[in-house]
Each structure stands twice: as C-alpha cells, then as structure tokens.
Structure 1
Amino acid sequence: MDLLKVRLQTHVGSHTSLSSLILRIYKQQGIPGYYSGLSAAVLRQASYSTIRFGVYEEAKKLFRRPDGTVSPLSAIMSGILGGAAGGIVGNPADVANVRMQNDGSLPSHLRRNYKNVFDALIRMVREEGLRSLFNGVIPNVTRGVIMTTSQISVYDIAKDAMVSGLGMSPASTITHIGSSTIAALVSTTTTSPIDVAKTRIMNSSGKEYRNLGHAVATIYKSEGVSALFKGWVPSFFRLAPHSVLLFILLEQLKAVYIRKHSYAV
C-alpha cells in the first residue's frame, strides 16, 4: 500500500487508477515490484514510529492532570512534540524509501538503482551531500506533527467519547478498533496535501520546489486540488489496519504495565 501511495503521489499528468497501477507494476516488475524499497520502509518505521510514540507518551506524563487524565489540548501538544521528533529522526530513511519505491516508474536511464536502504543513504551523502538526507525535512516534520496529533490525539479523544458518551468499556477491543479507525480516517485526510508535497520534494533533486508552500501551490495550480489527495485510498487502507493493530498492542502493553505496577505497590 505504501508503494502504491508513493507511485500515485509522484505521478504527474492524467489520472491513474489504483487498479491500473497495480496491473502495470505487475507487468513491468512482477511480484517483487510491490516490495521495492522494503528495507527503507522498515528502517523508516523503526526510526519514525519509535521516536514519535515514545516522545508522545513521555510528553503526556508532563501534561497529565492530578487525576491522571490528559486534556485534549495536552494530547495535541504531546502529538506536536512526538510528530516533530519522529519527522526529524526518520527523514533520512523516508527519503530513501520514497526514492526506492518510485524508482521502478522511472525510465531506465533515470533510475538510481539503490541496492538497499544503506546503499541509498551512503550514495546520497556521497553524490548529493549530507543535506540530501534531510531533503523535505520541513514537510516531513509538518506531516509528522499533523499525523501524530490527528492519529494519536484523535484516538484518545474518540476513545474517551465512546467510553463517556456511549458507555463502552475502555478495555473493549471494539472500543479500540472504533477509535483507531476514526483516527486513521482523520489523519489520512488531514495529512494528504502535506504528504503529496513531501513525496514530490523527496523524490526531486531539491531544486524543483523552494519550500513546502511552493510545492503545494505548484501542485494545486498545475494539477488541481484533487492532486493534493492522490494516494488517499492506499494511504487509508495502509493506515487503518496499522492503527488498529498498533493501538490494540499499545493498550495491551499498557494493561500489562499497570498490572505489574499495581502488584509492585
């Protein structure tokens, strides 16, 4: 899904459907084509997600009320801190990820042909300088802030609303699935324009777009508002199950931690 999202976002010109893209990748590259950039995607998730969730949870502890609850504003502030930290740390792997996933759509003479994520990072520094690792860092941080704020914060807010408003159990798997799906829907929509601009910037040589605002404006003027939401469908279907599994796992880990802490006391 991530590869399909990147291919759709980097495509300029007439509309390309998801089904036609899937078939084209299979015809040109076969099954392995769907896994282009896998090593970069793994490193990107390991660095980005670990940092943003870790910083988010630590920030929530600082903003927690005396009764142990966290206000929506505090959740948003924690999301901003976590998203910014994750965006910065995960940027090098993200640049490699975008380039490796998009390589197969380029003419053979324009392909970078990175062997793996480490080869990509080394070659970027050697051929383009250290700054290339942080190509698109501003839109990546912006996306990270919006993604973390909308995904994690909306999850907490939706969960509290389902518990207090609908009387659902905070430990119920249904509550966790519902809250995480709502969070995925909101975060996919709010981050889409930034995500498209980020992908275009990372895939470029660094000279096509002056900054995030220029990238968004250029895409809007040349391709219309719909271009800012390219890749929304694969983005959502990638993020929704990811969010559901992630938050269910986090809830289980929290429950184990609370039980052990209670026994210790």
Structure 2
Amino acid sequence: MAAASSFAAVFFSSAFAACFAEVCTIPLDTAKVRLQLQKKAALATGGGGGATGGMLGTIMCIAREEGVAALWNGIIPGLHRQCVYGGLRIALYEPVKAFFIGDGYTAAGGVSLFAKILAALMTGVIAIVVANPTDLVKVRLQADGKATTVKRHYSGALNAYATIIRQEGIRALWTGLGPNIARNAIINATELASYDQLKQMFLKLPGFTDNVFTHLLAGLGAGFFAVCIGSPLDVVKSRMMGDATYKSTLDCFAKTLKNDGLPAFYKGFIANFCRIGSWNVIMFLTLEQVRRSIM
C-alpha cells in the first residue's frame, strides 16, 4: 500500500476515495441487490423486479418502472457506510499489519502475504461492526422498489434508521451482522491483501512503475478475487438484510440452497463483478492520487 502516514490523513483519503467510488457505482450495486433478492417463486409468477434480463435488464427495468433516481436508492447510507467502513478498514490496515510483523509474521524480502491477510481480516471485522447499521439501511432502501414484494416505504435514510429502531428495536440495526462480518472480513482481506501483493509484484516487473496503470491492474485484480470468494456471503447478507423472515445466517443459507439451489449463491455475479471490479479500480486510483496530494 502506502508508506506510513498519520491515521487521520489515511482515514480522510480512504473515506473520500470510497465515497467517490460509491457514487460512481451504486447503480450496479442496486441491480446486484435486486438480483440477489430474486427467488424462484417470484420468477415463476413473473415477479422479481424484472431482474430476469440480468444486470443490464435489471438496471433498465428499475429506471423504466421506478425512475432513474431509483438506481441511486441507498446512496446516503451508502456514503455513511463508506465514510465509516471505507475509512476505518484502510486507515487501520498499516498499523495492524505492523503489529503482526512485530509478532514475527515476516517473510524474506518484505511483509508476508499471511500478515497482509491477517491484518485485512481484522480491520474488516472492526470496521463492519461499527458500520453495520449503515449497510442495513442501504440494502433496505435498495430493496424497497415498486416491483418488490416487501415494501417498507422509507422516506429516506434518517427515516429508515428511526423506523427500524421504533418498529424492530435498536438491535435490528445489526441484523445480518454474522454474514456481514464474514463477508466483509473475507472481501476486505481479499481486496487489500491482493491489491498490496499485486502492486508489489507488478513493481518488480520490468517496465512497471508506481503509476495509474499499475494501480488500475492491481485494483481490477483485487476486485475479481473479492467477487469470486465473497459472492455466496454477499448473497446471504443481502437476503437477510432485505427479508426479515430468516431466523439466522444458517437458516438463510439452508433455505436459499433448498429453494433456489447452489447457483443462487452466485446470482448477480456479473453485476457484482462489474460493481466490485469498477469500485476497486475507482477507489484505489482515487486513493493513490489523494494520498499523493495530501501526504
């Protein structure tokens, strides 16, 4: 990643980069959530928010039936999430990695991949425990469309927070925390550790320098690995947050497997890769440029 800098500076640059990437890619995330919430029963009756056309079909259907602005449903809690989660997970990465290095997790020639993965796992857990309420509200707003079966009609992010607390209790803000911790810890480890490792690997190759092209390739690789590993957990998280009928993570996993089959865990994979891949490229490119400007 980058050289050691003040926590505040890294937090600010990370939060800014994550928020910018969120604004650019949230239409893809909205389509991904609708696809992940889609069930066979809904498809059989012609429901499911018109998601049968895949990512592009879902985006067009949402824009046609609910308006283009609906593609940015959840942007406010999404920005809340990225300020907290995006800032913490990256700002904590270097200090936590240094802690593991101090405990002997080293390799010849630099920091071991194992230390990078451990550090990113830990920062992912810490960040999402704090940011889970923002993630919940974001998914609820994205799922609350005209064509969906569960309609909550939140008027906005703040109304959603207040309504959830009033109707379901404050603990409901941490609904889906189990799969969210698993998903974000794993995806964070995949993204940060793979970006760190890929960037380090590219810089050792002839012709590569610490420039935009290297950052782009490393960011795209990080996004691809994150989607391949994290898709099943992402589907379970979206279903639990979008549908309160599931009793637990295992219940959601079992019912999804029984009712929709194994492919359901990779439902919305293309949308997810387009979203995560482009998100990582935009975020890491922005992060590297902001860091150079303020550090």
In structure 2, relative to structure 1, the CA distance for the partners of 1:66 and 1:226 (3 Å cut) is: closer
Structure 2: tracts of 5 or more residues without a match? 1-27, 44-50
Question: Does residue 122 in structure 1 map to residue 149 in structure 2?
Answer: no
Aligned to 1:2: 29
Number of corresponding residues = 253
Aligned residue runs from structure 1 range 87-126, under 5 A? 87-104=128-145, 105-107=147-149, 110-126=150-166
Q: What is the one-letter code of the residue matched to 2:38?
A: H
Aligned to 2:277: 240
1-side partners of 2:132 and 2:257: how far apart? 24
Asked if the contact 2:125–2:184 (Cα under 8 Å) also holds between the matched residues in 1, the reply is yes
**Per-residue displacement from partner, 1:205-237 (whole Å, max 9, x unpaired)?**
2xx333323322221221112110112212211
1-side partners of 2:257 and 2:193: how far apart? 29
Aligned to 2:243: 204
Structure 1: tracts of 5 or more residues without a match? 261-265
After alignment, is 16-25 or 75-84 more displaced?
16-25
**Per-residue displacement from partner, 1:122-155 (whole Å, max 9, x unpaired)?**
1101110011100000111111111110001011
**Per-residue displacement from partner, 1:217-258 (whole Å, max 9, x unpaired)?**
22122111211011221221122222122222333455567x
Question: Does residue 146 in structure 1 map to residue 186 in structure 2?
Answer: yes
Question: Does residue 224 in structure 1 map to residue 265 in structure 2?
Answer: no
TM-score by length of 1: 0.87
**Per-residue displacement from partner, 1:184-210 (whole Å, max 9, x unpaired)?**
0000111100000001111122xx333
Aligned to 1:263: none
TM-score by length of 2: 0.79
Asked if the contact 2:203–2:210 (Cα under 8 Å) also holds between the matched residues in 1, the reply is no
Q: Which has the higher contact order (CA 8 A, sep 6+)?
A: 2
2-side partners of 1:31 and 1:249: how far apart? 26
Q: RMSD value over aligned CA atoms?
A: 2.2
Question: Does residue 33 in structure 1 map to residue 70 in structure 2?
Answer: yes
In structure 2, relative to structure 1, the CA distance for the partners of 1:173 and 1:44 (3 Å cut) is: same
Q: What is the one-letter code of the residue matched to 2:148?
A: L
Question: Does residue 81 in structure 1 map to residue 122 in structure 2?
Answer: yes
Identity over aligned pairs, percent: 29
Question: Does residue 156 in structure 1 map to residue 196 in structure 2?
Answer: yes
